[in-house]
A = this chain, B = another copy of it.
Amino acid sequence: MPGSSGRVRLSDVAAHAGVSAKTVSNVLHNHPHVSAETRAKVEASLATLGYRVNLSARALASRQTGFIALAIPGLDNPYYAQLASHVMDAAAEHDWMVLIEQTRSSVDLERAVVSGGGARLVDGVILQPDAISQAELSDRFAHQNLVLIGEGGATASSDHVTTDAVAAARAVAAHLIEQGRTRIATIGIQPQMRANASELRYRGLCQALDAAGLPVRSEYLAPVDRTRRPEAAAAVDHLLALPEPPDAILCFNDLVGSGALARLRERGIAVPTEIAVAGFDDNEESRFTAPPLTSVSWDLEGLARRCVDRLLARSRPGGADLPPVRSVVSHRLAVRESTVGQLAVDEDAALQA
């Protein structure tokens, strides 16, 4: 049992080892210029005294807190939980800790994050904006270590890690059209909301429709207040009540997709026979819905890593003056039974054809 873990200071270790504080610090930071025997001596004292660094003191002296903030709408969306998990892993590789901030898609909270919050605390911020306007993002506080996640792409004043929302939406829509769908509705995609991916995903859908010579029909655009499971039911009902109901629904995310599938089931509509359903984000859940949900899968690990790398680059000496970088992470379409009836994944699927 190493040490009784009281308040052991670095200077105590130095005294115990018979060296100066600087030497202890050198050992702690793996500085090269420490003789092997000194190092051993210090490490022994470190262990017997049970020294644990005081991060507040280190942060104050070094002007580096070792924290980065990750601001996301909320952990209750598995997509963001997943993202947070990846960011924490990527950050840990550089000895950074992650402070998760839930913005709840509130403009005020997002604004607070962008402007650095009320306190001086983090070395950098990763923000997934949702409610705040692009204009405000590019305007304010472009000087601080801020990486934006998202698909807007218009912000030239800070680092940006994005996905190609238009291409992804085009791909999933094209897949739907390939399956013979011509009346493709959407749930949760709101082209007027400019902070999140809505507009771009809608654009991708329109491009695919255009390319196939199909009309873009505005009555197929079902809005929801929040893009979550419970909200999907009313939107599905709305679409089913249309004179000519859709034969496919592209959902803003898998949460909405899951809710839509549930409602279609309640209404006795066969998926995909009568209506195909697809989503975005490829939540793990989507491999287990009835039927499994076709979805766009983002490279979340790459996304997280790039965000952290950008912050790292900027926090190095001289990094603050680096020009803003924009990088795009990859995606792929995970095709499942919600859009292709006869996908023969195994012997059982064939029975249901």
Contacts and interface: CB of A to CB of B under 8 A. Distances in A.
Interface stretch (A51-59, A308-316, A327-335): A51-59
B65 A56 contact: yes
Candidate in A265, A267, A349 with the most chain B CB atoms within 10 angstroms: A265
Interface stretch (A35-43, A176-184, A283-291): A283-291
B81 A75 contact: yes
A52 B290 contact: no
Given A60-B60, A81-B81, A116-B5, A258 B229 contact: no
Interface string A70-100: 0000111010011011001000000001111
B268 A119 contact: no
B75 A84 contact: yes
Contacts of A285: 229, 258, 285
A7 B157 CA distance: 21
A322 interface: no
B75 A85 contact: yes
Interface string A184-207: 000000000000000000000000
Number of copies: 2
A100 B88 contact: yes
A53 B118 contact: yes
Interface residues of A, number: 53
Given A60-B57, A116-B52, A348 B5 contact: no
Candidate in A88, A98, A119 with the most chain B CB atoms within 10 angstroms: A119
Contacts of A97: 99
B351 A268 contact: yes
Contact of A284 (B52, B59, B229): B229
B55 A119 contact: yes
A126 to B, nearest CB: 15
Interface in A3-58: 5, 52-57
A284 B258 CA distance: 11
A52 B141 contact: no
A155 interface: no
A284 B76 contact: yes
A352 to B, nearest CB: 8
A346 interface: yes
Contact of A121 (B56, B141, B265, B288): B56
A64 to B, nearest CB: 9
Interface string A275-317: 0000000001101111010000000000000000000000000
Interface of A: 5, 52-57, 59-60, 65, 74-76, 78, 81-82, 84-85, 88, 97-100, 102, 115-121, 141, 229-230, 258-259, 261-262, 265-268, 284-285, 287-290, 292, 346, 348-349, 351
15 contacts: A52-B116, A52-B118, A52-B120, A53-B120, A54-B60, A54-B120, A55-B65, A55-B121, A88-B102, A230-B287, A258-B285, A258-B288, A262-B289, A266-B348, A268-B348
